[in-house]
Structure 1
Amino acid sequence: MAKSKKEVDVSEDGPKIGKPKRGKRRRDETPAEDVPEEVAASIEPPKKKPRKNKTGFPDPQDDSSLSEQASKALCYAFTQFRKPSKWKFSKARQNWLIRNIWSDAIPDTYLPLTIQYLSNVKGGVRETLIKECQSLLAVPPPAPENPSGEVAPTTQPASTQAATDSEVAQIKHARARALLDALESTQSEPPK
């Protein structure tokens, strides 16, 4: 005779039909069938504790001021350092970081994260970044202020644009120096 899924237990009190045995249940756990529906709907699953950020970099997911693309690209770079086993290479995200390293699309707070990520790139991308940094550093940055320490007065809109261009050139120069230093410090040794 074939056994059914339910087990029959015969004891002094008479036959008892029990449920099939499953894995052990924790003491504080109540079976779902014992909880009324309205109570079960109101019970929320326990919230996961946020993981501590041990990378030393700010988490871009928490920053609502970032654009959608910036958030995606910076989260991609952040994942490489926070959860390396879950990180997967994305050429689109890497290219976005490379294109925007020189602009204000990547805020200064995320610059160390971006530089650390880009210092680990390999191949032609690495060589291109080194050449681009060297070409930016070959041209001295324009001086933002006059020798007395005051900002030069501007009366024309064109000179205001020039001042903005000067600031952008200084930012590019500073970022190129930081990126080149990181790229040179992580340069791999030639094969033996």
Structure 2
Amino acid sequence: DHNISREILAWRAIKLPIYTVALIPITVGCAAAYLQTGVYFGKRYLVLLVSSVLVIAWLNLSNDVYDFDTGADENKRESVVKLVGSRRWTHSAAWLLLALGMTGLGSVAVEAQNMKPLLLLCCSVLCGYVYQCPPFRLSYKGVGEPLCFAAFGPLATTAFYLLQTRTRFVFAISRAIICSSFLVGLTTALILFCSHFHQV
């Protein structure tokens, strides 16, 4: 294990599969909106996807920074902080990615002329913040799964549903999106729960 190349360690640090948690709520939300309205905005979908990936990258990098601070990553060779060689640069990059991601999400909300979904997404990001960032770090207090459920399910999926509608088109949140968002949240929370077990 000590002979693993820096490139492989960097690949592990990227944690590519984690970014599917950005893809699923957007796709489900947009599909539900299409089911309701028959309208699909491809550009909005792409901007939402890229922006969400940036937010997930913030989660990934900031988690590495705070794990480095607590010593949880002491034996983790693929820690981004260790690979970059600077906690400050990693931390700064994380917050820059969040700013870029939120800017992209905000631009779609402005285009859709609907700020309510942006509020839902801010709440989703707040869940991510209290999940891993000090002084909260609620992931260590047994509430990671409920936060994950709320962030990726009812909050994010519903927001993406609302952002994929016609400009100024207002309609009630349907049973389809409520059920879909709960399924997304439950699935994401279960994946997080199972990740605690090395045999899964």
TM-score (norm 1): 0.31
Q: Larger Cα Rg: Structure 1 or Structure 2?
A: 1
Higher strand share: 1
Which is bigger in relative contact order (C-alpha 8 A, separation at least 6)?
Answer: 2
TM-score (norm 2): 0.30
